[in-house]
């Protein structure tokens, strides 16, 4: 993966955008610092700088994960290298888990970049570490879900570009599906990734959200395994 330029371009791009946000938010914080000091119960450094960074980070993840996951399986098919994996003494589950873990390691790298930037603020201020880690957990879970869905879609086709576009469409749909709901009690809110992720941004690590992301990830991993298996059986 790191032999290809794609990984580096994605990393560089994300870092560039995140750094921009980071600096802009710090700048904003410094301007309003005096007022904030006088306001009781005012938002602190974490809320003003770190949270927007994670928020933008989630958008960047939404856009870049399709590019990263698109080739996981479809490229193997395209290059006819799937046979190497299929005839090796490893199971379909191991193939899928291996691909998934590789993806997660890469996404963790992105998270790490954000984390390091946030922690650098400790040099000159105080951070709400609880809020910071709630954000981090949220972004990680979101990344896992994206990776699992992207992986499954990559299993469906032999064309990486098709996989990328399809993944992006699915991510976007899941992201903003709550917008379609007029009723605040609508079940669409339950499956909206944005709604789920917002909780983490506010610093709430709810069990339901944890379970939701875990279920979403496992479901798509199992679907991927089934998909590869059925290919061996019916293709």
Given the structure tokens 């005839």, which residue do they identify? 87
d(CA 215, CA 219): 6
Least separation in angstroms between residue 226's CB and another protein is 14
Query: Which of these, 202, 195, 14, 173, lies nearest to 108 by C-alpha position?
Result: 14
H-type alpha helices, the chain: 5-38, 45, 51-69, 74-78, 82-87, 92-119, 129-156, 160-176, 188-191, 193-201, 207-234
235 touching another protein, by CB under 8 A: yes
Least separation in angstroms between residue 125's CB and another protein is 45
Binder to another protein among 6, 36, 86, 162 (CB under 8 A)? Answer: 86
Number of residues that bind another protein (CB under 8 A): 18
119 touching another protein, by CB under 8 A: no
d(CA 46, CA 36): 13
Residues 166-225 that bind another protein (CB under 8 A): none
d(CA 65, CA 63): 6
d(CA 106, CA 108): 5
Least separation in angstroms between residue 98's CB and another protein is 10
233 touching another protein, by CB under 8 A: yes
Nearer to another protein, 4 or 39 (CB): 4
Nearer to another protein, 12 or 88 (CB): 88
Binder to another protein among 12, 90, 126, 180 (CB under 8 A)? Answer: 90
8 touching another protein, by CB under 8 A: no
Least separation in angstroms between residue 38's CB and another protein is 59
Per the CB < 8 A criterion, the answer to whether 16 and 57 are in contact is no
101 touching another protein, by CB under 8 A: no
> Which of the stretches 80-88, 156-164, 172-180, 189-197 binds another protein when contact is defined by CB under 8 A?
80-88
> Which of the stretches 33-41, 87-95, 123-131, 158-166 binds another protein when contact is defined by CB under 8 A?
87-95
- CA distances for 97 relative to 3, 17, 40, 57, angstroms: 21, 30, 49, 25
Residues that bind another protein (CB under 8 A): 3-4, 79-91, 232-233, 235
């Amino acid at each position: 993966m790191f032999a290809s330029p794609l990984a580096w371009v994605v990393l560089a791009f994300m870092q560039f955008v995140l750094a921009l946000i980071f600096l802009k938010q710090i700048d904003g914080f410094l301007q309003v610092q005096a007022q904030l000091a006088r306001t009781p119960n005012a938002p602190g450094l974490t809320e003003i700088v770190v949270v927007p960074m994670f928020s933008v980070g989630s958008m960047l993840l939404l856009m870049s994960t399709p590019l990263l996951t698109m080739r996981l399986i479809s490229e193997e098919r395209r290059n006819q290298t799937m046979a190497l994996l299929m005839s090796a003494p490893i199971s379909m589950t191991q193939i899928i888990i291996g691909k998934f873990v590789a993806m997660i390691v890469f996404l963790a790298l992105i998270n790490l970049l954000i984390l390091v930037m946030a922690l650098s603020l400790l040099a000159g201020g105080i951070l709400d570490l609880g809020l910071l880690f709630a954000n981090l957990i949220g972004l990680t879970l979101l990344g896992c879900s994206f990776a699992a869905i992207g992986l499954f879609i990559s299993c469906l086709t032999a064309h990486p570009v098709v996989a990328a576009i399809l993944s992006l469409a699915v991510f976007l749909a899941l992201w903003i599906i709550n917008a379609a709901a007029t009723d605040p009690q609508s079940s669409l809110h339950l499956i909206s990734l944005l709604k789920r992720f917002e909780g983490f941004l506010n610093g709430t690590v709810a069990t339901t959200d944890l379970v939701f992301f875990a279920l979403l990830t496992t479901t798509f991993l199992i679907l991927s395994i089934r998909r590869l298996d059925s290919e061996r059986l019916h293709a």
